Structure 1
Amino acid sequence: MKNLQFISAVAIIALITGCASSQSGEVYTRDQARATQNVQLGVVEFVKEVQVEGSQSGLGTVAGGAAGGVLGSTVGSGSGSKLAALGGAAVGAVAGNKVEEKRTQYTGLEITVKLDSGKVIAVVQEADVQFAVGDRVRVLTDNKGTTRVQK
């Protein structure tokens, strides 16, 4: 029984770390497939590496609390086991929140583009494609306002 509880806790923690979504300029959501996008052309004027903070959706808190409660319940017996489960749940919730935040943060690029129209914009996206000053780029914006820069 204790092994099953431990395996359940590990599975819950694995769920926390596997839920990061991409902020890449090369990855599209299901809703963006087959949808019209506004395309503007321009030239990269400035590129700066930035750190994009992780998400705190609450999933990490819930999963961490559940995993901590399961692990805590394996300590002691009777009312001691119940107290350990409560303490484990509290500690697990805090830890799960931090794990989710840390796991979902990433290095991004702030890309400043001078559009052919003369307007200057900046877009932050995942740093999976490198840009340099002078690169000719396309700036794509969907109907929900999501913007990406592509070479």
Structure 2
Amino acid sequence: MKKIALSVLVLASLAACSTTSPDVIKREDAQRMSTVQDGVVLSTRPVKVEGSQSGIGGVAGGVVGGVAGSSVGGKRESVVVGVLGAVAGAVVGNAIEKAGTQEEAVELLIQLKNGDRRAIVQAKGNETLQPGEQVIIVTTGGKVRVTRAPAGTPPMAGASAPVYSPR
């Protein structure tokens, strides 16, 4: 039973390690053609990406709570305490999973060359983008990430225009 509980906890820990960072590319996105668009950052603002609840945290917490509770008292008490421990463990496990998968992110408002604007939310990466900076928007399989434009990229028309500032 202890091996099962340990296995479930390891799975819950691995689920909490997933990220939406622009610096991490998923294996299935490697060696795929991507679409690239040029743009200029108009504004940025910090946001939080809500944590997920896949159920792994609840299951892990339930197993651990049930095992811990069933070792308390005599036969009759151990069943009752085991059930209560499983329920409490599931609630705590869900909360831990949600908090562990929450991410600090940034919302970027970007103006494209054609004048269209796009708002993109991505996890904070190694780059800190500032209003007025030239960027590229890379789209792969429906997923988008924004990164600083490579050095030597010709300036966008209108890039020196006043930077948009939200109220």
TM over 0.5: yes
* Structure 2 gaps, min length 5: 149-167
Tell me the residue number matched to 1:51.
48
Choose which of 129, 132, 143 in structure 2 pairs with 1:131.
129
What is the Cα deviation at residue 14 of structure 1?
5.0
Identity %: 38
Tell me the residue number matched to 2:159.
none
Tell me the residue number matched to 2:140.
142
Per-residue CA deviations over 1:96-125 (Å, capped at 9, x if unaligned) read: 000000000011000111111221101111
Q: So what's the TM-score if we normalise by structure 2?
A: 0.81
* Structure 1 gaps, min length 5: none
Tell me the residue number matched to 1:19.
15
- 8 Å CA contact 1:9–1:68 kept in 2: the answer is no
Provide the C-alpha distance between the structure 1 equivalents of 2:129 and 2:4, rounded to a whole number of angstroms: 44
Choose which of 80, 85, 98 in structure 1 pairs with 2:77.
80
What is the Cα deviation at residue 90 of structure 1?
0.3
Count of aligned pairs between the two proteins: 146
Tell me the residue number matched to 2:163.
none
- 8 Å CA contact 2:69–2:81 kept in 1: the answer is yes
Provide the C-alpha distance between the structure 2 equivalents of 1:90 and 1:43, rounded to a whole number of angstroms: 50
Q: What amino acid sits opposite 2:80 in the alignment?
A: L
Provide the C-alpha distance between the structure 2 equivalents of 1:70 and 1:139, rounded to a whole number of angstroms: 49
Structure 2 residue matching 1:72: 3-state secondary structure = helix
Bigger Cα Rg: 2
Provide the C-alpha distance between the structure 2 equivalents of 1:57 and 1:12, rounded to a whole number of angstroms: 13
Structure 1 residue matching 2:15: 3-state secondary structure = coil
Provide the C-alpha distance between the structure 2 equivalents of 1:9 and 1:37, rounded to a whole number of angstroms: 42
C-alpha RMSD of the superposition: 1.7
Choose which of 118, 121, 128 in structure 1 pairs with 2:118.
121
Per-residue CA deviations over 1:8-28 (Å, capped at 9, x if unaligned) read: 656644542332211111111
Per-residue CA deviations over 1:27-83 (Å, capped at 9, x if unaligned) read: 111110111111001110010000111001111111111111111111112011111
Between Structure 1 and Structure 2, the one with more helix by share is: 1
